[in-house]
Each structure stands twice: as structure tokens, then as C-alpha cells.
A and B are shown apart, each in its own frame.
Chain A
Amino acid sequence: MKTTSILAGLLIMTMTAFAPAGPELAIIINKENPVEKLTTGEVKLYWLRKIKKRWPDLNKNIKPVDRKTKNADQDAFYAKVLGMSASDVETYFNAKQYESGEKPQDKFASDAAIIDFIAEEPGAIGFVNIASLTPEAKARVKVVLILQ
């Protein structure tokens, strides 16, 4: 019995150690944006437009980009960067829109659509799964943070 318990505990520990990690995300911006690197805290402040409404050196509106439907990448971004639930993120943007007409985040159905949008919009900032960053995609957008 004791041996069985020890073996079970070792098995659980092993499974945990080799459990698949959360999705690896890349925070991307437009290539025209002079920003090179951002910390997790800075990504949060810019994406939520808490300290600025426009990129300081680019002089363009900050445009946060999001996924249209719930998925693991979005959950990871909300948890690791924003520290908010999906419901709270929506409420946050609803409140900003109601208070001052501030435009909510742009939403897209896929990482490819997000990359296409950010490549065209100088002020956009968004997140994609790192697997979506093909060499062609990397040539079109700038990665400012990798989240693991």
C-alpha cells in the first residue's frame, strides 16, 4: 500500500513535470512603430491604453487587437499580461467606450487576420501564437515581447 502510494506520487510528479506548457505568445506591433522592446507591464499599459492614447514617437492612435472568440492564446494573454478575466476585459472596454467614446479593441478570428491587420495599421498592438509567426509573417510585423 505504501509502495503503491509512493509510486502514484512519483507518477503524478513526472506527469506534471512533463505537462504541456501554456501557449507561447508573441506580442507584435507594426514595423513603422519605433518601439523595439516592451516589458509585460508596458504591454498591459499600452494594450489597455492606460497611460497613453497614442504612441509617443509614432503619433498614431494605439489600437489594441484581440481574438474574436475565446481560445487558449487569449486566455493566456489575459492571465499573464492583463491579470483580468475575459468578462472584465470586455467590461473595461465597454466602460471606456461609454465614458468617452473610446473605441474598443479590434477583434479578429485568426492569428493570420491579426497579422494582416497589424501589418497595415501603424498603431496596432496584438498577440499571436508564436507558431503563427512564419518567416513571411515576421517580415511584416515586429515582435516586441515573447511570453512563455
Chain B
Amino acid sequence: MKVFHKIMIIAALTCSIQLTFAQETKIRFFGQPESTTSKITETTSFVGVNEFGQYITKDTSYSKTNFNTGNFVLFVTSQLSERISVLSEVSFDNSKNKFDFDVQRLMMRYYVRDYFSVRIGKMFTPIGYWNNQFTLGLVLQPTIQRPMAIRPVSDGGVLQYRDAGIQFEGENISPARLSYKVLLGNGVGYYGSNDKGDNHIATTVQLGAEPVDGLKILASGMLDRIEKGKSNPNGSISALPDDGNLQLLVASVAYMNPEKKVEFIGELLSQKSRFNTVGTYNSHSYYAYAGYRIADKITPYVLYNSTQAGESKTTGDPYFSPIPVKIELWTLGVRYKINSSFVGKLEYEVNNQKYFYQDITMGTVKLDDGFTNTARTSSVRMQLAFVF
């Protein structure tokens, strides 16, 4: 969207907010500058030799240090009446050597009862726990970055973390505090939810329970169409080979109770790309986060993430990654909560990625052997997240 149009949206939203009572409008500003020092070691190993008896190994190793301002988020909510509220979230991202401006969320909510409300606009998809709790509010997020398993498609992940559409939801149903969300939206696309060529509406459903205060158990699922000729979400394939269906299932459990010292989040994602004639391909990811608060303000934590694109070393997933990939991340960190407005985080992360390139064949002739490309990155990262 052109910058001018985006500015007009902000101006229109600001004007509409001025019409409301001042006390009912809350404006927040989230920021999270960070610095990263990384050492990257990449090795390539061949599985055997080619017809000339040659093997090639390539080892590269380099370090880099960079500072970046990260995301700045302008977040505005307004209670327009007893039942109608609006929310807007605009981000300014300078983390990729350029300045990006984006409308992350823009929605209105009509509240009927605790067990039934309606939202319309652009919002976070009701997939999993982390996606709805944190995203760009990094002062609230327990770690510096999202777990790899739930990174958005724009960052090479599987998750369509936001969508435009209409959502029906309810919460606090029964003493077990059951909840549900049903989102009818545009669905997955390379440019987020705007790249939509057909009239298919993606459906995302989440069911949840909070049987104990702070313990949330969620089951989420998304069903969307795959369109032949379109690129896959992360752009690694410019034209998908076939039409089909995308199914994403997520199981989540989280215990984040500020009254307790222990905190835990675990999520398991299973993605199935079911093409009409090409076949069915699976990818899965999971992560586990655990922290323990000591001395009231300090929380050391650990995060483990495992992502497998494709079912095995020889079978990729055209919708996610045509080359099978195995990613494992370990993160050790400590979080210091200065107060509710300032949180500092320090992390050490080890990232192991393996890309399983297959044999190159033409007919019955093998032109070259496949190989495994292994990249190991260790990083030290610091972040100061704040909100005003």
C-alpha cells in the first residue's frame, strides 16, 4: 500500500478517536531496540562422490555485530460505547536495512455477551497461544524473538499471523472458562492476506480452556486453499504445481500466571499440504519455553525449537520448503523487569540448520550427488523493550 494511503488511514483513525471521550482512548507506544553479535559457521558435506570421483567441502566462518532499532509500534484502543471498541496497531520496522511501515491490525469489536462477540477488520489469526498474546508487544513477550516454529511466513515460517476478515468469539464459558474463536478471512498469501486471487475464504478455529487460573489449553486449526501458479508464502517457489488444500493444526499449553514463579509455554504445529494430484506433504514444528522468576524481577529462561520442513531428509514440502530442512534452536536467556514499562533481555542462542539437497538426475542418469548443507549460528543478543 502506498505510504500516502497509510498516512491517510492513520489520520482518519486519529480524527475518529478525537471524537471519543479522552479517558476512553488509550495510546501506547511499544519499542524494542536490540543489538546482536553472531558467529556463523557454515559447512557443506557431500554424501558420496560424483562420476569424476570428486568431492567438495566448503567451510565458511564469519562473525558480525549489528545494532538495530527494531520495531516501533503505535498502538491505540478506544472504547466508543458500552459494546463497541476499536483497535489499531501500526508498526515502523527498521530491522532489515530499510524502513517499513505497516498497518498490523485495524479492527472493531462488538461485544454482545461474554460468550459471543464479533470482530471485523485486520487482526491476529487465532492460531496458538503466542500469536495472540505477544507478536509486536515485545515488552510483554518472554523472549527476544518468536520461536522459530511460529514465525510468520514473512520471516520464513509457516504462520499466517494476521488476516483480514470477520471473527466470532466467546470466552469465560462455564467454570472451566472455555473459549472459542472462528475467523473467516482471506487466508495465506505471499503478501500476507492481500494477495488473494480466488473467492475462497480461509477458516481458522480455536477452542480453549482455562481450568486453573493462568493455565491455558488451546487447540487451533486453519483450512485454506492452495492455488496453482501462485508463489508459496515464503517465496521459495514462484509457481506452485497444483491446486490443493492447506491444513494447519496447532496444540498449545501455557502457564503464565504472574502470581507464580514458574512459567511455561509449549506449542506443536502440524502442517499438511494436500495437492489435488501432486500428493500430500507434511511439515511439523514444536517449541517449549520455560522460565523461573527469582528475586521478583529476574527470570532466567530456556527455549528449545525444532522445525522439520518435509517429512524426511528426502521429501520436502512444496508449500513450505521444497528442500527438506531441519532446524534446531536452543536459547538461554535472562529477563530483567525494571518495571511494567521497561524490560531488558539477554540471550545466547545456538541455531543448527540442515538443508538436505537431493541427487540431481535426468531420466535415469544421475548428474550429481545430493549433499547436506549445515549451518550453525551462535549469537548473543540484547534487547530493551519498552512501552509508554
Binding site for B on A (CB under 8 A): 50-54, 60-61, 83-92, 94-95, 97-104, 106
Contact = CB atoms under 8 A, between A and B. Distances in A.
B82 A61 contact: yes
Contacts of B26: 97, 103-104
A60 B82 contact: yes
Contacts of A101: 77, 85-87, 107, 109
A92 B133 CA distance: 11
A84 B340 CA distance: 12
Interface in B49-103: 75, 77, 79, 82, 85-87
Most B CB contacts (10 A, CB to CB) among A85, A97, A101 go to A101
A95 B337 CA distance: 15
Contacts of B137: 94-95, 98
Contacts, number: 72
Nearest to B172: A51
Q: Which size class do B's interface residues fall under?
A: 20 to 34
Nearest to A63: B79
29 contacts: A52-B114, A53-B111, A53-B114, A53-B172, A54-B114, A61-B79, A84-B259, A85-B296, A87-B297, A87-B337, A87-B340, A91-B258, A91-B337, A94-B137, A94-B387, A95-B137, A98-B75, A98-B137, A98-B140, A100-B87, A100-B109, A101-B77, A101-B86, A101-B87, A102-B77, A102-B85, A103-B77, A103-B79, A103-B85
Nearest to B107: A101
Contacts of A83: 259
B261 to A, nearest CB: 12
B133 A99 contact: yes
Interface string B267-300: 0000000000000000000000000000011000
B146 interface: no
Contacts of B114: 52-54
